[in-house]
Amino acid sequence: MSKSVLGCVALIGLVNSVQAQGRSTSEAVKVKWLEDAPKYNGGVTFGLPWALGQFSANASTFSASSGNGDVQLQSWINAYWPDGSIKWTGHALGASESASDEYTITATGSGTGNATRLRKRAINDTNVIQVTQTADNIRVNTGKITAEFPKSGDSILSSIKTSSGKTVGTNGRLVLRSQSGVGDDDSGDAAAVDYYNFISKVSNVTVSKETSIRTLVTVQGIHRLEEKLSGTHKDWLPFTVRFYLYANSEAIRIVHTIIYDGESKNDFISGLGVKFDVPLEGEEFYDRHVRIAGVDGGILHEAVQGLSGLRRDPGKNVTDAQYEGKKLPDISTWPANVRTRTQWIPTWSDYRLTQLSPDGFNIQKRTKAGQSWLKIPGGTRAGGLAYLGGATVGGLAVGLRDFWKKYPTSLDISNAATDTGSITLWLYSPSAEPLDVRPYHDGLGEDTYAKQLDALEITYEDWEGGYDTPYGVARTNELYIYAFDSTPTAEKLSQLTNNTNEPPALVADSAYIAETKALGTYWATPESTVGSAKAEALESQLDFLVKFYEGQVEQRRWYGFWDHGDIMHTYDRVRHQWSYDVGGYAWDNSELSPDLFFWNFFLRTGRADVFRLAEAQARHGGEVDSYHLGNFTGLGTRHGVQHWSDSAKQARISTPIYRKAFFYLSGGDERTGDLIHAVLEAEKAFVLVDARRKVRDPSIIYTPDPEALFLNFGTDWGSIAAAYLIEWERRGPRWEECRDKLINTFKTFPKLKNGFVTGEALYNSLDGTWAPPPNDPDNAGTVTVSHLSSVFGVVETIDELITHYPSVPQPFVDAWLDYCYYYGAPKAEQKARYGKDFGNLNLKQGHSRLTAYAARARQNATLAARAWNEFYTSTDGLSPNASWQTVRIDGDKSLTVVDEADWISTNAAALYGLSAIENLAIIGAADKINLNVTGSA
């Protein structure tokens, strides 16, 4: 058996002292908890930005301290500036008895790349994770627990042992149930339905390079048929399960991802879960405990064999100990009238909590399979955590984040009265109706493009046969496992329920993040415009919009397995209801960038509620609204009734700019990193799916060709450009190729006679160069300006490109600034410049930020005034003079009491929010124009 200890050497070690030779710099950055300092700290990862040229990657070190002195820190680089200096780092802190209110991360080094000699201190080996690998498994010892991950087989985590040597969890595996049909089909023939049970089949297990304070084990595989109830079924539903383990922690954080690769008409998921066995051998039934999290920190206290409430009382010493989860006094000390009769007291083997709606859960228990269930009084929203174990043998708690928000979910405890009990956390409850991902309508006879376009006129749905498919969409869930030597207190489990649902996050101060420009120059903190009445009014409106959407999520129950994290697009004021059932008006799928509005709002304010709103969106859009397998990989789906129902598959929806802040602030969340990589695949999808196939002028002959893709600079290129930039920053496997493609675009795009006003042109996805569109081979200049081109993150992406790479050639910047200037310019000016005006454009409010961008770059105060004028007087956005209030709808007017703002559409809200934030940052408030708030292009 080969045994190697990984993880003793961090790429970037800890600094003890600095032998400053030559020029060295040092910067101390404070990070604070997003919410209050947590009562439980099981280890945390976070990210920090650094300004261009400040810290060279090969000559800088990082250390951490809190009020109580130095803290062990693992650090790594997540992004680089083009000169090799550090742009984003990731950091991990191990678990601690108590969390400090804040930590100081100190970077020390040189921005020049000339290695200042640093004396590195070895990380104290007694406090770090030990990783050992054999041919068959990976073993990770955090100091509190040792977990074993087999490299093949059915199990994803074969054992969890506490430091005192108790094995408290075994045989962790994924479980999946499915069926080939549902009873309500036309045939109604339940007998014709096949039922299957699947289990995980591991194909690939890897461990992170750095492991000292945080170790990441990634297990990949697929679900294989375990039990053939009837019929046969191929392996399906590929998964990636990531286990995060922290030094000195008894918790394991799990990020569980599946991709739906079934056939919607024949593959109905009827249960999806994660299951662990809990060894209970040797523990008396009355010393075995079941704990289930209820509402607002509530905990159900049960013993497998309960001794309270009986006709004969064993005494307070016994019943209190059992309630508290402590080992009972020896049975010989109990009163004889109890002691001699324990065989008549039932044991409860199975517990089941089902959360089939966001409003209520039921719990039941039974003595064993084959006997009736007994109802336990339930509640509204369960915390999603269950514990099974014993006072002496220890046990395991398992929790699912956002348990009730992702309904239908459930928790099973089984076989608690046998030698091996188990806990199953159901991410999709087998007690719910099977997951139905079939199209919601039959095509309505729309068998030609002409009919499809006509249908769009009435329902706004852009439908086409075969495109309404869930094949390739994904879902990610976050779970925690906690291991114990003995049954923990209810208070501890309550804390862990909090930890599971609101994993503590550390973030730097907004002003610091802004100063580094690592997330562009298009947002600034409210302090930058303090003292302006106009800015103050906008601040309160932005706050209103954010709170409105937070409230709507709750009142309209925008929750569910697929839905949590999305919001709706358009409001139906007649029904007092969002248009959840109208073609193109239902789920928003990031239309016009509400994600960016919320992230920018968080960045500038640091508000925890906004982070959580945006985080749920980041976890939804890139997964459910985007494709990860098949022809559409890398693309997303336009807004619609189902997240995948619309036939417009475009990169404007999957663009990673919507997840970039989350990716870096989280310290490089690996799943989000995968999603960003997947967008690079859009290059191939552009060949398979022509986004404008239905609407293009038929006289334009176009066949998709990787060397000549007819793309829109905003809705297509802008999205892959965002992915290229992040790949370049990350120095991912394709970073040089991505950098070169961007640089080629910088060189060739401005050669299009009309620059960005060309709108659509031919893109060579092999090298990043552009050529004139097929209808203008001689580059005489075409004018195609769409209101959609720059409202899907292209403004922010181009700003980040220019900030990242100060050598962007001036002609590219000028071409962009011209577009920014002319979009809102008078038609006469457009015509004078391009020979033709742009027609009647809308979304002028949303485009005021382009005008502002040009104003700052040109240092033109008149233009800045024009930007604010566009913002305040646009007729198709939100009006500053709208009521900015909600109206309560109650009584028999609607199903439930709701607060309505029928003057809001999500398109308008997203653009109002984004433009207000960006204009304030770029040109200052309307009553205090300031062209030097943030950096200039």
Ligand X SMILES: *[C@@H]1O[C@H](CO)[C@@H](O)[C@H](O)[C@H]1NC(C)=O
- Phi, psi at residue 246, to the nearest 5°? -115, 150
Q: Which of residues 140-199 bind ligand X (CB under 6 A)?
A: none
Give the separation between CA 751 and CA 771, rounded to whole angstroms. 8
Find the shortest distance in angstroms from Cβ 25 to ligand X. 11
Q: How many residues interact with ligand X (rule CB under 6 A)? A: 22
Q: Which of these segments, 121-129, 661-669, 764-772, 870-878, binds ligand X (CB under 6 A)? A: 121-129
Quick check: 886 and 899 in contact, CB under 8 A?
A: yes
Q: Which is nearer to ligand X, 40 or 578 (CB)?
A: 40
Tokens of 668: 């490089």
- State whether residue 619 is helix, strand or coil: helix
Which runs of consecutive H residues, i.e. helices, occur in 779-840? 794-804, 810-823, 827-834
337 binds ligand X (CB under 6 A): no
- Residues 317 to 336 in contact with ligand X, rule: CB under 6 A: 317, 333
Site for ligand X in 701-730 (CB under 6 A): none
Say how many C-beta atoms besides its own lie within 10 A of residue 733's C-beta. 11
Question: Distances from the Cα of 356 to the Cαs of 381, 429, 476, 623, in angstroms?
Answer: 10, 8, 19, 22
Considering the complex, what minimum distance in angstroms separates the CB of residue 23 from ligand X? Answer: 5
Q: Which is nearer to ligand X, 112 or 364 (CB)?
A: 112
d(CA 275, CA 400): 12
- Contact status, residue 501 vs residue 295, Cβ threshold 8 Å: no
Nearer to ligand X (CB atom), residue 263 or residue 515 = 263
Q: Does 39 bind ligand X (CB under 6 A)?
A: yes
Shortest Å distance, C-beta 880 to ligand X? 35
Question: In angstroms, rounded to a whole number, what is the distance separating the alpha carbons of residues 596 and 912?
Answer: 12
Contact between 298 and ligand X per CB under 6 A: no
Q: Which of 84, 297, 443, 809 binds ligand X (CB under 6 A)?
A: 297
Is residue 498 at the binding interface for ligand X, with CB under 6 A as the rule?
A: yes
698 contact partners, CB below 8 Å, separation of at least 6: none
Closest separation between CB of residue 733 and ligand X, Å?
9
- d(C-alpha 106, C-alpha 26), whole Å: 7
Binders of ligand X in range 78-117 (CB under 6 A): 112, 114
Token pair recorded at residue 434: 């099977």
CB closer to ligand X out of 123 and 514:
123
Does residue 126 interact with ligand X by CB under 6 A?
Answer: yes
Q: Per-residue x/- marks for ligand X, 572-591, CB under 6 A?
A: --------------------
Q: What is the DSSP string of 170-202?
A: EEEEEEEEEES--TTSTT--GGG--EEEEEEEE
Contact residue for ligand X among 127, 371, 810, 859 (CB under 6 A):
127
206 binds ligand X, rule: CB under 6 A: yes
Asked if 932 is part of the footprint of ligand X (rule: CB under 6 A), the reply reads no
Q: Which stretch binds ligand X (CB under 6 A): 124-132, 251-259, 569-577, 638-646?
A: 124-132
Among 424, 494, 748, 830, indicate the residue that binds ligand X (CB under 6 A). Answer: 494
Residue 124 found at the interface with ligand X (CB under 6 A): yes
Question: Cα 690 from chain centroid?
Answer: 28
Using rule CB under 6 A, residue 378 touches ligand X: no
Whichever of 392 and 495 has its CB closer to ligand X, that residue is: 495
Instruction: Give min distance, CB of 925 to ligand X, in A.
Output: 35
State the nearest-atom distance from the C-beta of 870 to ligand X, in Å: 42
Name the residue among 405, 157, 440, 101 with its Cα closest to residue 274.
157
**223-228 LR contacts (CB < 8 Å, sep 24+):** 223/174, 223/176, 223/198, 223/199, 224/198, 224/199, 224/200, 225/196, 225/197, 225/198, 226/154, 226/197, 226/198, 226/199, 227/196, 227/197, 228/196
Least distance from ligand X to the Cβ atom of residue 35, Å: 7
- How far apart CA 428 and CA 408 sit, in angstroms, is 6
Residue choice 688, 700, 832, 895 for contact with ligand X (CB under 6 A): 688
Binding flag, residue 61, ligand X (CB under 6 A): no
392: left (phi over 0), alpha (psi -120 to 50) or beta: alpha
One of 315, 346, 732, 809 touching ligand X (CB under 6 A): 315
Binder of ligand X out of 16, 152, 187, 204 (CB under 6 A): 204
Selected from 5, 23, 37, 374, the binder of ligand X by CB under 6 A is: 23
443 touches ligand X by CB under 6 A: no
Q: Does 630 bind ligand X (CB under 6 A)?
A: yes
State yes or no: residue 526 binds ligand X (CB under 6 A): no
The CA–CA distances, whole Å, from 227 to 411, 846, 879 equal 21, 55, 60
What is the binding site for ligand X (CB under 6 A)? 22-23, 39, 112, 114, 124, 126-127, 203-204, 206, 297, 315, 317, 333, 491, 494-495, 498, 630-631, 688
